[in-house]
Structure 1
Amino acid sequence: MSETAVYGEAINSEPLKSEDEDDDYNDDEEESPSPSQSSPRPPISSNFEKDRHLLYLEMMYELLPCHYQSQEINRLTLAHFIISGLYFISARDRVDKDVVANWVLSFQDLPSHRGALQNGEFYGFFGSRSSQFPQDEDEGLTHNGSHLASTYCALAILKVIGHDLSTIDSESLLLSMRNLQQNDGSFMPIHTGGETDLRFVYCAAAICYMLDNWSGMDKEMAKNYILNCQSYDGGFGLIPGSESHGGGTYCAIASLRLMGFVGVDLLSNGLGSSIIDPSLLLTWCLQRQANDGGFQGRTNKPSDTCYAFWIGAVLKLIGGDAFIDKIALRQFLLSCQSKYGGFSKFPGQLPDLYHSYYGYTAFSLLEEPDLSPLCPELGLPLLATLGL
């Protein structure tokens, strides 16, 4: 099982964005055919086709189609979708844990000496081999550097397969991660030239949580940035003043949960003392379930498989998931289930790894039999995060 064969090029009728744009939380902004432009819809299965999903993920684990050649920089992200997906569908025996752990650890960016931690760079994980190429400014060669989203994906893989995270140089990682936090509390994903928004606040919070060490961020500053992103309608935009967005709202609520600023079942326990308005947030989230049963990421957008997780997980975190029309949501997801295994963004399209993974997480939220339960604040299989 070689690195090139397993994680080299990947799948996708609609490629992921570049690593600088993270794990595609702005998915509904991609250029994709609208539902009305999709190919004729195949007959909808009435079942979650676990065996087909297993075959799909096994194929991607061994050799990925050429459509992902342009996504070489996202190797760790793609690996996360495959490996964590296999754990969701109870196929952990298909993963060679030692080989995977050694491969992931080979992407950690380590400082040459302790003094280098003061140079402003981030010593996390690179997203791919190409982003590890040495920098030669005289030749005009630069590399992307280690990246917050890649670091989240690396730790997620290691946690899912049961690797001991204490073996990681977490001190260098966390000390240098503080270099990425901005004066307004937001985070840049790389040490220079990156955008700042809620996606990277979430990545930083998840990294600190998985390493059980919060020295990598100022939680109070991050909390204030998150609250500044809440819109008048109860949802959260990716940056202050922007339109409420399903991915941004997830990043906000999951980060606040991971940092300990909001508790379990916010609707029942936090109405009087919460730092956010949970009832307004509940209303905004429930309004995102469309007539076809799926969830949209923003107002007047088509339903999209991934928002069944982004919005569904928010509702789970605040204790409002009982209000989801789960039968209708299940039917929408099944309409996006491919006969080849995996899930597509819209009904009638080819599957891709991003939407397949969040299709599995969505079915886990719906308590599909034989799927691992979900840890909603990390977006990972619960049993794996508990070490079971």
Structure 2
Amino acid sequence: MGKRGFARAHHVAFFDAMATELPDDYAPQEVNHLTLGYFAIGGLSLLRELDRVNKDEIAKWVLSFQVHPEAHGDEDNGSFYGFCGSRSTQFPLPNVKDPCHNGSHLAGTYSALTILKIVGYNLANIDSKALLLSMKKLQQPDGSFMPTHIGAETDLRFVYCAAAICSMLDDWTGMDKLKAKEYIFNCQRQVTDGGFQGRRNKPSDTCYAFWVGGVLKIIGAYHLIDHCALREFLLTCQSPAKKIKHSAGALDQNTYTVLITGLP
């Protein structure tokens, strides 16, 4: 078998298409629209092809998903004041007092800030005080994070999102770093195929090359990764159509194609 190569031109064309209009097959993922946008824009940026998109229009679109407190002091009312992940989760605040109708999500917030940073928007214009104060309440006693204030599963994806948000805003008041580090090291495990698991007894997945690798990079422990083994695992997940899948036998998705960022 010949040496596997990275099909750059195919990936550029794929991300360019995804940044313009998502195929019908992505309709069930509407709740993750902002995150899917991040994967497309982020992929183009990594491949040095960002000039293909209108940066000002993208920034305007992203900012329209931000949730703001209705009144002074509301940032401490238990809701999370970040970014909604899609229009279907973006409920109008006027006359809606039920906190469940605030659809802010940690992954959507990470995606929003990352897109804004990629396209050159000044993050100093973001209401970071309300965002970080409310985000800190999502951290659990074991150091992990829930993605929303109404509860959900906790794992390394959301620890990464919280750490990246604090890093981008240059303000670490949104999390307890010591607790987060303890949680990360309690989860650390690179399996024999070279990939990473997100939880015990879960198959290796390309997405955790991103989540785990990203957290280790932020906290200064990136040297612990077996880079050659990880690269080989990621390339085994490249499909005949030159897209990256979450595992060797799965379907193509832009969600996983952007995880070429895990290639050492």
Q: TM-score range by the shorter chain?
A: 0.7 to 0.9
1:101 aligns with 2:41: no
Q: Is 1:76 paired with 2:34?
A: yes
Residues 329 and 103 (structure 1 numbering): CA distance in 2 closer, same or farther, change over 3 Å?
same
Superposition TM-score, scaled by structure 2 size: 0.82
Cα distance change of structure 1 residues 347 and 204 upon mapping to structure 2, 3 Å threshold: closer
2:245–2:251 CA contact under 8 A, matched in 1: yes
Q: Structure 2 CA distance, aligned partners of 1:48 and 1:89?
A: 12
Tell me the SS of whatever aligns to 2:10.
helix
User: Is the CA contact (8 Å cut-off) linking 1:122 and 1:173 kept in structure 2?
Assistant: yes
Report the equivalent of 2:105.
147
What's 1:31 paired with?
A: none
Which of 223, 234, 240 in structure 2 is aligned with 1:319?
223
Whole-angstrom CA distance in 1 between matches of 2:201 and 2:172: 38
What does residue 295 of structure 1 align with? 195
Paired AA for residue 262 in structure 2: A
Corresponding position of 1:369: none
Does structure 1 residue 344 correspond to structure 2 residue 245?
yes
Question: Per the alignment, do residues 106 and 51 of structure 1 end up closer, same or farther by CA in structure 2, a change over 3 Å counting?
Answer: same
**What percent identity do the matched residue pairs reach?**
48
- Can you give the 5+ residue segments of structure 1 that lack an aligned partner in the other structure? 1-42, 238-248, 250-283, 366-388
Q: Which runs of 5+ in 2 are unaligned?
A: none
- 3-state DSSP of counterpart to 2:30: helix
**Per-residue deviation, 1:182:** 4.5
1:335 Cα deviation after fit: 3.6
Match status 1:188 vs 2:146? yes
1:223 aligns with 2:178: yes
Distance apart, 1:104 and its partner CA: 0.5
1:248-272, Cα deviation, whole Å (9 max, x unpaired): x3xxxxxxxxxxxxxxxxxxxxxxx
- Aligned residue pairs: how many? 259
Counterpart CA distance in 2 for 1:111 and 1:198 is: 28
Query: 1:330 and 1:124, CA in 2 relative to 1: closer, same or farther beyond 3 A?
Result: closer
* Paired position in structure 1 for 2:261: 361
How do residues 278-289 of structure 1 correspond to structure 2 at under 5 angstroms?
A: 284-285=189-190, 288-289=191-192
Letter of the 1:350 counterpart? L
Seen in structure 2, the aligned counterparts of structure 1 residues 329 and 151 have a Cα distance that, compared at 3 Å, is: closer
Query: Quick one: which amino acid aligns to residue 29 of structure 2?
Result: Q
1:104-131 residue CA offsets vs partner (Å, 9 max, x unmatched): 0000101122132232211111111111
Q: Does 1:236 align with 2:136?
A: no
- Deviation string for 1:3-39 (max 9, x for gaps)? xxxxxxxxxxxxxxxxxxxxxxxxxxxxxxxxxxxxx
2: distance between equivalents of 1:44 and 1:58? Answer: 29
1:129 is aligned to: 87
**Aligned mates of 1:175, 1:95 — CA distance in 2:** 33
Distance 1:320 1:142 in 2: 40
- Counterpart AA for 1:81: F
Give CA-to-partner distance per residue, 1:332-365, whole Å, 9 cap, x none: 433432343421223354311222111x1123x2
Deviation at 1:70, TM superposition (A): 1.2
**Over residues 125-148 of structure 1, what are the superposed CA-to-partner deviations in whole Å (9 max), with x where a residue is unaligned?**
11111111237999x996352112
Name the CA distance, whole Å, in 2 between partners of 1:52 and 1:177: 38
- Is the CA contact 1:135–1:141 (under 8 Å) kept in the aligned structure 2? no
Q: Give the Cα separation in 1 of the matches to 2:192 and 2:232.
A: 13
Q: Is the 8 A contact 2:67 2:82 kept in 1?
A: yes
Whether 1:51 and 2:1 are equivalent positions in the alignment is: no
CA 1:147/1:310 → structure 2, altered by over 3 Å: closer, same or farther?
closer
Provide the rounded CA distance (Å) in 1 between the counterparts of 2:212 and 2:140: 27
Partner of 1:158: 116
Q: Which residue of 1 aligns with 2:206?
A: 305
